[in-house]
Chain A
Amino acid sequence: MSGDAASYLDGNAVAGELREVFVADLTAAIGECCECGRVAALAEARVYAMAPGLVARCAGCESALMRVVKGEGRTWLDLRGLVYLQLSTPAVASERV
């Protein structure tokens, strides 16, 4: 995959699709690339949207971090390229002890 600068967007572009599936905003989640170890917000990934699905690639090494494909009534999420995703989970004020 070449890094043709006009052909990709970034993780911000998948925010709406991911909010259909997840309660939390995933674009601010910090992930580690399996391939090169880069740690960055998903928003900073390169997103290729001109395909049947969306592919988010590492801004450091271009390996695929995440694939999102939507079908009739279903969404496939492939996170194989990420070691982990770290989400901020603010403490709930009214939490019971």
Chain B
Amino acid sequence: MWRAASVLSLQDETATARTVRLHVADWPGHDAGQHVDVRLTAADGYTAVRSYSLAAPAEGDRIELTVERIVDGEVSSYLADVAAIGDALEVRGPVGGWFVWRPEQLEPVALIAGGSGIVPLMAMVRVRSAAGNNAPFRLLYSARTPESVIYAAELRDRAVAGDGLGVSYAYTRRAPQGWSRPPRRVDAELIGVATWPSGDRPTCYVCGPTPFVESVAGLLTRAGHEPARIRTERFGPSGGAT
């Protein structure tokens, strides 16, 4: 079922990512990690549909997406560049019941993000905080450069708040001045120090481009994590989630 939506506000997060707040008629609420399908319809009736992760808990009929501009993405390009306050579009969802975190969960959680894969994981961080849940969270965020980190200021504030959220970064192209780890991909050593030992039986959520998710899921499995406790969400050139 498609619901009528309109753009309430827009906020640039990085040079290529933008947060879009939408009003959606009769929004039923959602869980952290779920996504929506967004449908655009041109004047000639041509439609395009893409999936985006919800970035934050709903506030009534208001939802929030963070969209990374992608090269072949006609919907992403619209949302990241063209959309203006008041624009009308359609939303279907929330969808997905597997890649979700609910505040009833009390076990340790490892969140591992590649690029804009941070978006559904940030929803989990925000929902945890809003619910007053004290489950220990460790977030490992792989980004190309310091400038490409989405939600950088909020993550900095949340990490120093001392409420059980740890945040680590892996820079793959260029690290900040004085950063101890040279730019490279997430590897077994970093998984070891920035997530949880498998004996703590954490639930692991991995989101990013397909090759990133495959690589990280493999590292987690080799570190002894049970496959059933590793939940993954991939996005790619055909316009999947996030």
Measured in the bound complex, the distance between the Cα atoms of B136 and A86 in whole Å is: 31
Q: How many interface contacts (CB-CB < 8 Å) are there between A and B?
A: 87
A43 interface contact, C-beta 8 A: yes
User: A34 — which chain B residues lie within 8 A by C-beta?
Assistant: none
The answer to whether A5 touches B99 (Cβ under 8 A) is no
Measured in the bound complex, the distance between the Cα atoms of B238 and A16 in whole Å is: 15
B51 interface contact, C-beta 8 A: yes
B116 to chain A, nearest CB (A): 14
> Do A25 and B95 contact each other (CB < 8 Å), given the known contacts A9-B236, A13-B51?
yes
User: B51 — which chain A residues lie within 8 A by C-beta?
Assistant: 12-13, 15-16
Q: How many residues of A contact B (CB 8 A)?
A: 23
The answer to whether A12 touches B211 (Cβ under 8 A) is no
Measured in the bound complex, the distance between the Cα atoms of B234 and A5 in whole Å is: 10
The answer to whether B96 touches A10 (Cβ under 8 A) is no
Known: A9-B210, A25-B96, A42-B98. 17 other contacts (CB 8 A): A5-B211, A6-B236, A10-B213, A10-B234, A10-B240, A12-B234, A13-B240, A15-B96, A16-B37, A16-B95, A25-B97, A28-B96, A41-B98, A43-B231, A43-B232, A43-B233, A49-B239
Seen from chain A, the residues whose Cβ lies within 8 Å of a Cβ on chain B are 5-13, 15-16, 19, 25, 27-28, 40-44, 47, 49-50
